[in-house]
Amino acid sequence: MATRSDGLARAAALRGMFEARGAQVVETPVLQPADTLLDLYGEDIRARAYITSDALRGEQMLRPDFTVPVVQMHMEQGAEPARYTYAGEVFRRQEHDPDRANEFLQVGYEVFDRSNPADADAEVFALIAETLDGLSLRAATGDIGILMAAVRGLDTTDRRKAALMRHIWRPRRFRALLDRFARRVPVPAARAALLAAPVASSAPVIGRRSPAEIEERIEALRADAATPPISDHEMGGLETLMAVRETMPFALEQLRDVAVDLPQITPALDRLEARIAALAAHGVDVETLEFEASYGRTSMEYYDGFVFGFYAEGRPDLPPVATGGRYDALTRQLGNGAEIPAVGGVLRPGLMLELEEAGA
Amino acid sequence: MSLKLGVPSKGRLMDKTFDWFERYGIRLSRTADREYSGQVEGIDGVSLVLLSAGEIPRELAAGRIHLGVTGTDLVHEKLPRWEQQVEELEPMGFGQADLVLAVPKFWVDVDTLDDLDAAAAAFRARHGFRLRIATKYHRLVREFLTEGGVADYQLVDSQGATEGTIRNETAEAVADITSTGDTLRANHLKILSDGPILRSQATLWRSRVAEVSATEKATLKALMARIG
């Protein structure tokens, strides 16, 4: 059984290796102001992070990961390009599975570099893969940017596109919106009634949401009802896109077919193609590497491009040993107007040790 | 040792619990008016522990009482993975109440969670903060809204007079327990049609973690034979 000090020693060794490859070592506080994380993730983060408070600083969170503070630090004072590494504990509240650790070590490698995003993606993936060499792991990859490009280019209203983008990480809600915008589901009775007749309520106006806001929403609903549905060929394209799951070269081929119906994804596919070439140049066997277009579409993620994860073969009970991806939009959200392409990955040394012991 | 039965220590919930056991020939009573201790007649080996209804889930989960009477709402809110910690023995047919989401009645555009989500997005864009929902049932409400795909809201804690928070402009919506909906209506609120979040009633629970001796086991069996 690997001890805590084994884990710390491994974490230090991994960080040392990333440092030797040119990354600058950074430290972040364990306590993070809760506001930033709540603004990014909403109330859902409370189910995942430990929150504490004092009368002076208000709510604070035990860092659930390093990415947000590292991005903040870079946006405030970082020089470009930059490569960072860090190691330390992160804390995750567990309300459903007592077997999942609520405190574990993470070692990360993050690249802030605008010169060649495809190469930076490949650099991070190849480095993480190299670190995990010897473990029996399955790599999964995806690219949430392709679906985002598809949505942004739909032949429909900006309001609909904004609603879909807002829920891109909530697959079920996204699907429900899509079905509604394509008129594949009946309009709920209460909404039909609202749209059919001028509405008035004699109830008193209370609270901060004003009658003007209600009027505005009714207008928006009326406008939406008068908007043609998302077409069958666009819907077909989106459905095929979301279902793509193949090795990288075949996935690209299938997505190029989808681009016949959804030409707006072509620039994102060109980026995927460049990434495949860059991965191959970094020695990754792309012929066998899996690509899943819907991979990484879980809530509370910030990735908006390339995404990847490494999973222990035959151990579906374990969380991924490493994960990572591109998060350009996060740098924009935290950058006060500035932005920089960024990609990174994290490893869990504790899980690596556990798997090494099981395999030994 | 005797089998410990935790019962709400005051009010209607206590009276109704006493009535319910009385039907099976088990008489529970408080020893003195101001004293939180009680006695049990009509069955041997059971002792009464008078507690606040809100503390009963925790006491069951800690194994300090074997049986307890409290609402489904409190067990589900306070005990994650409650099924593993307590067993539901008997719904008792009183204390019925639903945990519901309610918004001002004049919000004619909001009837479902889908509407609430859209309203929350627009509200945040206009006001610069997330739409506030006042509640004391944080976990249940959050899980319900996550499940329903609602974003851009925040929960604000309200331990009482929750219906008043909208008028006081400390929240835009509420999630609260209601049995008839009268209080909500009186405060010019309406219940969303998606829901309720939970249907609750007073229930007799058994702790899965409390240690049980052979005698206590026999007592439990005898008790279950009476009320089953």
Residues of B in contact with A188 (CB under 8 A): 111-112, 114
Q: What is the spatial distance between Cα B134 and Cα B123, in angstroms, rounded to a whole number?
A: 16
Residues of B in contact with A173 (CB under 8 A): 117, 149
Query: Cβ of A96 and B80 within 8 Å?
Result: yes
Cβ-based neighbours of A13, under 8 Å, separated by 6 or more: none
Residues of B in contact with A43 (CB under 8 A): 130, 142, 145, 153-155
Mean pLDDT of A285-295: 95
Same domain for B107 and B90, yes or no, is no
Sequence spans of domains, chain A: 1-136+337-360, 158-230
Mean pLDDT of A39-54: 89
Same domain for B56 and B134, yes or no, is no
Chain centroid to CA A234: how far?
24
Check residue A149 and give its pLDDT: 97
Q: Would you tell me which residues 168-207 of chain B have a C-beta closer than 8 angstroms to some C-beta of chain A?
A: 169, 171-172, 188, 193
Query: Cβ of B121 and A166 within 8 Å?
Result: yes
**Does the structure's ipTM exceed the value 0.90?**
no
Query: Cβ of B142 and A173 within 8 Å?
Result: no
Give me the residue from A190, A201, A217 closest to B118, CB to CB: A217
Mean pLDDT of chain A: 93
Task: Examine the pLDDT at A335 and tell me if it is beyond 90.
Answer: no
- What is the greatest pairwise CA distance in chain B? 65
Ramachandran area for residue B161 (φ above 0: left; ψ -120 to 50: alpha; else beta): left
Q: Does domain A1-136+337-360 have CATH number 3.30.930.10?
A: yes
Q: What is the spatial distance between Cα A49 and Cα B213, in angstroms, rounded to a whole number?
A: 40
Check residue B34 and give its pLDDT: 66
Nearest to B179 by CA among B159, B161, B201: B201
Cβ-count burial B137-160 (b if 16+ within 10 Å, e if not): bbbbbbbbbbebbbbbbbbbebee
Mean pLDDT of A76-105: 90
Is there a contact between B97 and B181 (Cβ–Cβ < 8 Å)? no
Q: What is the pTM of this model?
A: 0.88
Task: Examine the pLDDT at A199 and tell me if it is beyond 80.
Answer: no
Same domain for B106 and B170, yes or no, is yes
Secondary structure string (H, E, C) spanning B124-155: HHHHCCCEEEEECCHHHHHHHHHHCCCCCEEE
Per-residue CA distances from B185 to A135, A198, B104 (Å):
62, 23, 9
What is the share, in percent, of chain A residues with pLDDT greater than 90? Answer: 78
Query: Domain count of chain B?
Result: 2
The domain that holds B57 is classified in CATH as 3.40.190.10
Query: Cβ of B105 and A203 within 8 Å?
Result: yes
Check residue A97 and give its pLDDT: 78
**Residues β-bridged to residue A141:** A291, A308
Q: What is the spatial distance between Cα B140 and Cα B148, in angstroms, rounded to a whole number?
A: 12
Q: What is the spatial distance between Cα B42 and Cα A219, in angstroms, rounded to a whole number?
A: 67
Check residue A280 and give its pLDDT: 98
Check residue A299 and give its pLDDT: 55
pLDDT tens-digit profile of A124-172? 999 999 999 999 999 999 999 999 999 999 999 999 999 999 999 899 9
Check residue B33 and give its pLDDT: 66
Same domain for B55 and B108, yes or no, is no
Residues of B in contact with A211 (CB under 8 A): 106
Instruction: Encode chain B (228 residues) as per-residue pLDDT tens digits.
Output: 799 999 999 889 999 999 999 999 999 998 876 667 789 999 999 999 999 989 999 999 999 999 999 999 999 999 988 999 999 999 999 999 999 999 999 999 999 999 999 999 999 999 999 999 999 999 999 999 999 999 999 999 999 899 999 999 999 999 999 988 999 999 999 999 998 999 999 999 999 999 999 999 999 999 999 987
Return the sign of the alpha-carbon dihedral for residues B47, B51, B56, B58: negative
What six digits make up the tokens of A77? 């004072």
Check residue B38 and give its pLDDT: 86
pLDDT tens-digit profile of A2-38? 889 999 999 999 999 999 999 999 999 999 999 888 8
Phi and psi for B192 in degrees, rounded to 5? -70, 150
Q: What is the spatial distance between Cα B103 and Cα B90, in angstroms, rounded to a whole number?
A: 33
Q: What is the spatial distance between Cα B156 and Cα B175, in angstroms, rounded to a whole number?
A: 10
Check residue B63 and give its pLDDT: 95
Task: Examine the pLDDT at A300 and tell me if it is beyond 60.
Answer: no
Ramachandran area for residue B130 (φ above 0: left; ψ -120 to 50: alpha; else beta): beta
pLDDT tens-digit profile of A214-256? 999 999 999 999 999 999 999 999 999 999 999 999 999 999 9
Task: Examine the pLDDT at A360 and tell me if it is beyond 70.
Answer: no
Residue range(s) defining the domain that contains residue B108 = 97-199
Check residue B177 and give its pLDDT: 93
